[in-house]
Structure 1
Amino acid sequence: MYKKKCFYNQSLKNLNTFAIDVKAKQIVFVKTINNLIKISKKCKLYNIPYIILGEASNILFLKNYIGVVIFNRIKGIQITEQKNSWLIHVFSGEKWHNLVKLTLNLGIFGLENLALIPGRIGSAAIQNIGAYGLEFKDICEYVEILSLKNYKTIKIQKKFCQFSYRNSIFKSKYNHKYAVIKVGIKISKNWKPIIFSSLNNYIKKKNITAYQIFNIICQIRKNKLPDPKKTGNAGSFFKNPIVTKKKSQQLLSLYKNIPNCPQKNGLVKISAGWLIENYQFHNIQIGDASIYQKQKLILINKKNATSQDIITLARIIHSCILKKFHISLEPEIDFIGSFGKIYSSKFFNLKT
């Protein structure tokens, strides 16, 4: 069906950071929008399901995928200088961390807090990635998507993207039969460092530079997060739960050192990693799936874990946290079954 860079029944083990050994009917790497359209049309013609991925760094394959897995490698970066800012137009197949490094090298400062986050640009918009006091929504100008129904492009301005914590309109209304193809990122020339509370122990200088923040964050992430090239993982498995102020006060009255962060809407974000760590799971392991000791929010594939091993471990954690703290942890990663994405509510009792 496809002649270039197409493999039949090839394992996806080396193409997903969880290193789950599942297969797809076909695997295709696309480098242009026209190629993406062409493959989408052929899949429609032969009634073959397909899914578009970037780095597959925030997913868990549950079973062999019966259709075509398309890996987005559409690249290109254009930088426009404005009076008070920089406007960066980036195609969705670019690696996020490479963009952070490029802007730093060009003397454009503002993305350094998001250093070393895995994945591609398209996923950054869909997921509204964030770390150390900065989220994608804070620097987004627009997101351009391609309809895989009529193959027209739609440019969506930031205010209509419905960004929230690890969420966006691209996970709902524009999820099925749409593909993110480009984003616009706006960075002010008036750079001010963002020193998030968890960086206070690392940053002592008053005149800190963007380069120093970048290096510090890279070192922190390397020290506390497993390298997916060595240990299978998809980063944080669960989101940090956001609870009511009343619930947070109840928790703080019982656990005074629980990390928390008030939100603009009056709610409070609680550290999921702290909840898991303070439940004190004792070397719990299901098959080759276990909790990463340096960062308890990460579940790892030690060697040959199956997706069922990962799910079983996650459900045990979810159940225990719910029972002790009365908080329902919500998975941050996406689940992909034989025909496509599966809602996490199928596996977890997601109480609000």
Structure 2
Amino acid sequence: MPAVPYSLKSYNTFQIDHSCVELSHAKSKAELISTCLELYRSEQDFLVLGGGSNIVLTDDYLGTVVHVETKGIEFSEDDECHYLSVAAGENWHELVETTLSMSIPGLENLALIPGTVGAAPIQNIGAYGVELMQVCDWVEYLDLRTGELKRLATNECHFKYRDSIFKGDLLNCAVITGVGLKLSKHWQPVISYGALKALERGSVTAQQIFTCICNMRNTKLPNPDVLGNAGSFFKNPVVSRAVFDSLVKNHPGIVGFPVDADSVKLAAGWLIDRAGLKGLKVGGAAVHEQQALVLVNMGHATGTDVTRLAKKVISAIVERYGIKLVAEPRIIGANGEKELADD
């Protein structure tokens, strides 16, 4: 077994103490491209890592971790829109703050989502009624198979709920280098969720929405610097209208949001909460006492503690509601990504 001397504890928001064989810091796009191509062409195992906010490490990684640290934001505009070209290594929340400081609204609902800009398209990040696909103009990526930089328009990214082409056809053969955003100058507030409903549509500002969302997230979600976590651990399941109607009969008060005429998105946090799973522990991992959708590191959790806890939650929800939850974070083992069920 090779030595794994580079600690990754500070590179993942779960604060899980695993290491890697080599750690490469890509501070420019050219460096990111050359490093990844060299590793790919030499058939070495490597993992591209941004903010580490969407991973669970279950073992020491027996390869190279390429940490994306590229920076740069370019602005342009026309009569209708503001356009941003953003390097993959930029911090997402800091980007939201920057746009608001420049009186450019449109990203405020996505405040305080952890991670980097390059990771945002992979799972089509979203919160409080807004998804990345609604503001994305293009995604630039390195095609590892050809060594070419390519650009996909929004409609070519196959965006869905927490999904994209980067988790499908381009899995393991694309490294995102930059993201283009298109923010309309004809801004319309999105205030249909939670405490946002109390805001006055006719007079509300983007800054007020931003502040409200930051307050909600800071109240509901644990600070990963205090309790390691990866934010919402489970996707909100989407079910048919018929299944939802049946659930309502058996579980009055169940929370669901219409997706279209035939489907409803359930609140996974509500399911976990009502199943009495808050505070459930496995080793050093626990379901958060205040927000059931979040699994936390109580101090010395292993990645295996987290995955075993996740599987206990999934089993309990299947037994109670007949609904199977799906984990959002990537599970990373010694040789790369794997399925939760395999851990």
Same topology, TM > 0.5: yes
SS class of match (2:120): helix
> What is the rounded CA distance, in whole Å, between the counterparts of 2:43 and 2:200 in structure 1?
59
Check if 1:165 corresponds to 2:186: no
Residue 33 of structure 1: how far off its partner (Å)? 2.1
| 1:52 equivalent in alignment to 2:37 | no
Pair 1:81–1:148, CA change in 2 (3 A):
same
Conservation of the 8 A alpha-carbon contact between 1:233 and 1:301: yes
Distance (Å, rounded) in 2 between the aligned partners of 1:183 and 1:174: 16
Counterpart residue number, 2:289: 293
1:195-210 mapped onto 2 (5 Å cutoff): 195-200=191-196, 202-203=198-199, 206-210=202-206
Please point out which of 273, 280, 284 is paired with 1:284: 280
CA contact (8 A) 1:202 1:216 kept: no
SS of 2:304's partner is helix
Shift of 1:65: 0.4
Equivalent residue for 2:238? 242
Q: What CA RMSD, in Å, does the superposition of the two structures yield over aligned residues?
A: 1.7
- Residues 313-348 of structure 1: CA deviation (Å, up to 9, x unaligned): 11111101001100000011111111111133535x
Q: Distance in 2 between matches of 1:128 and 1:199?
A: 23
Report the more deviating stretch, 175-184 or 197-206: 197-206
What is the aligned length? 341
Partner of 1:150: 146
Q: Is the counterpart of residue 180 in structure 1 residue 176 in structure 2? A: yes
Identity over aligned pairs, percent: 37
Range with greater deviation from structure 2 (101-110 or 28-37): 28-37
1:4 aligned partner: none
Asked if 1 retains the 8 angstrom alpha-carbon contact of 2:4 and 2:61, the reply is: no
Which runs of no fewer than 5 residues in structure 2 stay unpaired?
Answer: none
Give the aligned residue type for 1:177.
Answer: C
Q: Is 1:312 aligned to 2:308, yes or no? A: yes
Other structure's SS at 1:187 match: strand
The 3 A distance-change label for structure 1 pair 45 and 162 is closer
Distance 1:183 1:312 in 2: 35
> 8 Å contact 2:191–2:201 — kept in the other structure?
no
Q: Does the CA-based 8 Å contact 2:121-2:139 persist in structure 1?
A: yes
Q: Determine helix, strand or coil for the equivalent of 2:152.
A: strand
State yes or no: 1:219 paired with 2:226. no
- 1:139 is aligned to 135
Q: Residues of 2 paired with 1:11 and 1:93: CA distance?
A: 20
Q: TM-score scaled to structure 1, two decimals?
A: 0.93
Give the match for residue 190 of structure 1.
186
> Equivalent residue of 2:319, what SS?
helix
- After superposition, what is the alpha-carbon deviation per residue over 1:141-162, rounded to whole angstroms, capped at 9, x for unaligned? 1111111232211111111111
Aligned equivalent of 1:109, options 99, 105, 110: 105
C-alpha deviation, 1:38, in angstroms:
2.5
Q: How does 1:68-83 map to 2 (within 5 A)?
A: 68-83=64-79
The TM-score normalised by the length of structure 2 is: 0.95
How much does 1:42 deviate?
3.7
> Are residues 206 and 286 of structure 1, via their aligned partners in 2, closer, same or farther at CA, if it must alter by over 3 Å?
same
